[in-house]
Amino acid sequence: MKMRTGQRRHSSGIALPIVLLISSMLLVTAAAWFEAALVGARATGNSEDRVQAFHSADSALLRCARIALDSLPEPRDITSPLGSEPEKWRLKASFEGASANAITPFSTWPHAAKPPQCLIEPWPASTENSGGAFLITARGFGRRVGEVWLQQQLEIAESGAVGHWRRVVAKPFQTNSP
């Protein structure tokens, strides 16, 4: 079959816009998947940081509770209610600075910005002859800026120590950034 040179096949040029439309749809879809993957990676990293900080604070809380119990001369029975809650844990100076009362029960903590800290405060009973308790506040750090605060109230009795655990939801003081 011979093609005549005088006849040309006419195309309307619709193929290029269709290919460009499909390519742009694939590009937008790929960009959306990439963004979703980045958001998921950030969320996973933040979750890992919070878990790291939680375990750091929990370990410091356990170690400081043991330190508090070992420092008692002899346990007494609690027969009266405890007095007002100690307030030093709410002060920034108790955890940071030269006059900080908080101890560092571990010299380092793996994958954390800083080792955990804890503050042991006596919580006296409302009468003088009855036993008291301790309020132990622990602060754990994650790799980046994650920070978790945990507390335990240890009531001392002849039968042993009774611990009441609680998580501090918000930081008790705000760090001023320069």
pLDDT tens column, 125-158: 655 545 578 899 999 999 887 889 999 988 876 6
Query: How far, in Å, CA of 150 to CA of 168, rounded?
Result: 6
| Sign of the torsion formed by the C-alpha atoms of 24, 26, 29 and 35 | negative
- Name the least confident of 57-61, 69-73, 102-106, 130-134: 130-134
Rounded alpha-carbon distances, angstroms, from residue 32 to 28, 39, 40, 43, 46: 6, 11, 12, 17, 21
Query: How far, in Å, CA of 136 to CA of 139, rounded?
Result: 10
Q: Is 118 helix (H, G, I), strand (E, B) or coil?
A: strand
Of the pLDDT bands very low, low, confident and very high (cuts 50, 70, 90), residue 99 is confident
